[in-house]
Amino acid sequence: MGKNKEKYNFEAKNLIAYVAKRFKTLLIITILGAFITGVITLFIHNKYKSSLVLFPSSPASIARSISDIYYVYAKGDILGVGGDEEVDELMQVLNSNDIISGLIEKFNLAEHYGINLNKKGAYTLLYKKVNSNLKINRTEYSSVIIEVWDENPKICYEMANEIMSLADTVFNRMHRERLYKANSLAQNAYDSLYNHIGKIQDSLTTLNKLGILDYHYQTQEILKAYYNALLAGKTDLANSINKQIKVLEDHGSKTLTLREEIDDAEKELADLGRKLTVTKVAVKSTISQKFVVSKPGIPDSKDYPKRMLIVLVSAISTFFVALFSFIIVDNIKKIL
């Protein structure tokens, strides 16, 4: 170990001595490299950054939450924060072309970035440019951070605000497409069942006109009257009552079936009515699908480029590149 340590110290001393020997040259090269880098950074346009942090909202339906208390227990409060699934959904919406297209149209970004849309590949270049100035990441706290860069601080701020609006627009459009279909299906089912109940009621009305109002009660009473007429020797009355008994026998069971059918249908109609109300309320609702934790602001200082850092890194890199270049050249000379 001692030998290795001595060798290491010896080599380190040699390196320090070598640097000291060529220090003036290395210093000049380093300063020159830093100066050139500093000049180059002057041609890099300043960019400003505006950012915001969002949480997705709960998946609970507004209409269902209002109309069904048990749904609230199952899905949670509509004012609650969403989970991982909702974060993923929000990320997909924010990274969709709808958001990029909305920004391009709203701020005329083709002109803003100086891109001629008549040239081949212009739209690809435009989308790449927008994406390079937009970063959307998921945080460790199940929120989403959105960062927007632009050379104009006001445009940067306005674009960040527009992303918030576009996110709700895309969400609501997606949900409405499904809700319109659900509402249409519910309305068709409701109308069909309502018409079916009307036909059953028409059939019951026809049977009522035959004198069948309450099959069980009428059967008991009419049989009692029939036997009383027979016991009293009133044959004509008994025959008349017997005709009514035959009407009950022929149509009474049908009346019972229709009444059971209409009871079941009315219960189902009530359920469909509730569903229809829910879908109608949901179609009209425009509640935000997110919570804004940190709103964007107009930046008052540039975020990019960090010239001092670039110059410092360049100076250090130049120093070591020059140093190792000298070492390699000197070793080659010794070999030759």
Q: What percent of the chain clears pLDDT 70, i.e. is strictly above it?
A: 70
What integer pLDDT is reported at residue 194 of this predicted model? 87
Q: How confident is the model at residue 104 (pLDDT cuts 50, 70, 90)?
A: very high
Phi, psi of 188 (to 5 degrees): -65, -45
The third-level CATH classification (topology) of the domain covering 45-205+287-322 is: Bacterial polysaccharide co-polymerase-like (3.30.1890)
In this structure, what token pair is assigned to residue 31?
């300063």
Task: Report CA Rg, the chain.
Answer: 42
Cβ partners under 8 Å of residue 311, min gap 6: 34, 37, 38, 41
CB-CB neighbours of 11 under 10 Å: 10
What's the confidence (pLDDT) of residue 8? Answer: 39
**CA 152, 154, 157, 158 torsion: positive or negative?**
negative
What is the chain's mean pLDDT, rounded? 76
φ and ψ of 296, to 5 deg:
-75, 155
Question: 68-77, 110-119, 128-137: lowest mean pLDDT where?
Answer: 68-77
Note the pLDDT of residue 76: 45
Pick the most confident of 26-30, 168-172, 251-255, 282-286.
Answer: 26-30
On whether the CB atoms of residues 98 and 166 are closer than 8 A, the answer is yes
Model confidence pLDDT, tens digit, residues 154-194: 999 999 999 988 888 888 787 777 777 877 888 888 888 88
pLDDT in tens, 265-302: 888 888 888 878 777 777 776 666 677 777 788 887 77
Which of 165-179, 192-206, 240-254 has the lowest average pLDDT? 240-254
Return the pLDDT at 295: 79
Distance CA 214, CA 222 (A): 11
Which is higher by pLDDT, 132 or 59?
132
Which of 149-153, 215-219, 221-225 is the least confident region? 215-219
Q: 50 and 134 in contact (C-beta within 8 Å)?
A: no
pLDDT confidence bin for 232, thresholds 50/70/90: low
Strand partners, 50: 148
292 three-state secondary structure? strand
